Amino acid sequence: MRRGRTLRNLLGLEDISADDIRRLLLSAAGFKEILSRPVRKVPTLRGRAMVTLFYEASTRTRTSFEMAAKILSAEAINVAVAQSSVTKGESLQDTVRTLQALQMDCLVIRHHCSGAAEYAAKKLDVPVINAGDGRHEHPTQGLLDLFSVCDHFDRLDTFDLRGLTLAIIGDIAHSRVARSDAWGFSKLGAKVQFAGPKTLMPGDCRSLPVTVCDDLKSGLEGAEVINVLRLQTERQERGLLPSLREYSRLWGVSGHSLQWAKPGALVMHPGPMNRGVEISADVADGCHSIIFDQVTHGVAVRMAVLYQLMGVEKE
């Protein structure tokens, strides 16, 4: 598989071009075929080592990076931060430089501080992949969301999303997924609209390529795709919401509210879900939900990213 021009790091979708995004998605489409084989193993990255360093919890992202690396025959080393020397006060700089000294070929990092992945990239000579930094970006989630939509609408050949509207609903202020999706979908031509409570809207919305809507009905209007965000209570100061019950009533995506979107609109959620809060169980499990397809596509997308970043330089 051809890699085309090589990316040095993957820190966000704001920083990379539409062509770079299309190249990664095209590569993921090729890797998706490998996932359906009886033996899911290719020698592409044999002899290389990917390290995951997650300062925050994860099920989907960390596991799918590990699966992606193993299918490509790379070593996958997961640093358990809670059992690492981070607990003795070791700095981020010393931690990542230590991992580089151990001869890792790529670092996948999740951190609660926006900008942590970029900081690590400045300290290292090996590629860095941002697996989520604070409220900033989660670029591989953005890519897998794009891949899932292109796959559903049969656009895995063009990756052209002109004419499509994506509604992103809920806790936008704390969401790195909202930012990566806003950049990624708009770069491929889609219209992106945000809707959520005023207290959960970021202050810098005007610098993002989105339209902001004041209520759920207008946020869903015209949307062929809805991305429902998790209410990130762990990142919220007190007083942003009167109650979960009121949030669910005004902003929860349910069978009733789906009537405001285009008929048959796709429903996505990056996970993990708060069922009964931002999304009702019948919508999460309904026939228009592609929530678990997103998870599956995450493996192919992360294979493509690892291949782009860890490819052939050592040979």
Nearer to ligand CP, 135 or 191 (CB): 135
Quick one: 27 or 175, whose CB is closer to ligand CP? 175
Does residue 4 interact with ligand CP by CB under 6 A?
no
Among 9, 61, 95, 193, binds ligand CP (CB under 6 A): 61
Q: Which stretch binds ligand CP (CB under 6 A): 58-66, 86-94, 151-159, 202-210?
A: 58-66
Peptide bond connecting 272 to the previous residue in cis, omega within 30 degrees of 0: yes
Of 298, 162, 183, 276, nearest in space to 228 by CA: 276
d(CA 169, CA 280): 13
Say whether residue 271 binds ligand CP (CB under 6 A).
yes
The only residue of 15, 35, 58, 222 in contact with ligand CP, by rule CB under 6 A: 58
Among 42-50, 155-163, 186-194, 264-272, the segment contacting ligand CP (CB under 6 A): 264-272
Residue 274 touching ligand CP (CB under 6 A) = no
Cβ distance to ligand CP smaller for residue 60 or 155: 60
Give the E-state strand segments of 185-270 in sequence order: 191-195, 211-213, 225-228, 266-268
Pick 132 or 139: Cβ nearer ligand CP: 132
3-state SS string for 284-314: HCCCCECHHHHHHHHHHHHHHHHHHHHCCCC
Site stretch for ligand CP (CB under 6 A), options 72-80, 82-90, 190-198, 265-273: 265-273
Question: Measured from the CB atom, is 134 or 311 closer to ligand CP?
Answer: 134
Stretch that binds ligand CP, among 36-44, 59-67, 181-189, 301-309 (CB under 6 A): 59-67
**In the 8-state DSSP scheme, what is residue 81?**
G
- According to DSSP, the β-strands at 191-195 and 165-169 are parallel
Least distance to ligand CP from the beta carbon of 299, Å?
13
Do the Cβ atoms of 140 and 10 come closer than 8 Å? Answer: yes
Nearer to ligand CP, 58 or 211 (CB): 58
Taking CB under 6 A as the rule, does residue 27 contact ligand CP? no
Binding ligand CP by CB under 6 A: which of 141, 227, 248, 308?
A: 141
Contact pick of 30, 42, 60, 250 for ligand CP (by CB under 6 A): 60
Contacts of 115 (CB under 8 A, 6+ apart): 133, 134, 136
C-alpha to C-alpha distances, 105 to 69, 72, 132, 311, nearest whole angstrom? 12, 14, 19, 10
Q: Is 270 in the site for ligand CP (CB under 6 A)?
A: yes
Tokens encoding 308? 């782009």
71, 40 in Cβ contact below 8 A? yes
In what order do the strands lie in the sheet containing 165-169?
211-213, 191-195, 165-169, 225-228, 266-268
Closer to ligand CP at the Cβ: 169 or 260? 169
Q: Are 267 and 226 in contact (CB under 8 A)?
A: yes
Nearest CB to ligand CP, comparing residues 23 and 110: 110
H runs (alpha helix) in 53-172: 60-71, 92-101, 116-123, 139-152
| Interface region with ligand CP, contact rule CB under 6 A, candidates 54-62, 101-109, 242-250, 285-293 | 54-62
Enumerate binding residues for ligand CP (CB under 6 A): 58-61, 132, 141, 270-272
